[in-house]
Amino acid sequence: MGAQWKAKGKALVADAKGRLFGKLVKEIIVAARAGADPAGNSRLRLAIEAARKASMPKDTLERAVKKGSGVGGDAVNYERVIYEGFAPHQVPVMVECLTDNVNRTAPEMRVCFRKGQMSAVAWDFDHVGMIEGEPAQPGADAELAAIEAGAQDFEPGEEDGQTLFLTDPTDLDAVAKALPEFGFKVLSAKLGYKARNPVSMASLPPEAQEEVQAFLAGIENNDDVQNVFVGLVD
pLDDT one-digit tens code per residue, 94-132: 999 999 899 999 999 999 999 999 999 999 999 999 999
pLDDT per position as a tens digit, 20-41: 888 888 888 988 888 888 888 8
Q: Which domains does the chain have, with CATH numbers?
A: 2-69 (1.10.10.200), 78-234 (3.30.70.980)
What DSSP state is assigned to residue 113? G
The 3 state secondary structure assigned to 181-207 is HHCEEEEEEEEEEEECCCEEHHHCCHH
Would you say 201 and 232 are in contact if contact means Cβ atoms under 8 Å apart? Answer: yes
pLDDT attached to residue 9:
42
Per the CB < 8 A criterion, the answer to whether 181 and 136 are in contact is no
* Mean pLDDT of the 182-186 span: 91
Helices (H), the chain: 2-31, 42-53, 58-69, 102-112, 142-149, 172-178, 206-220
On whether the CB atoms of residues 61 and 26 are closer than 8 A, the answer is no
Indicate whether 83 pLDDT > 90.
yes
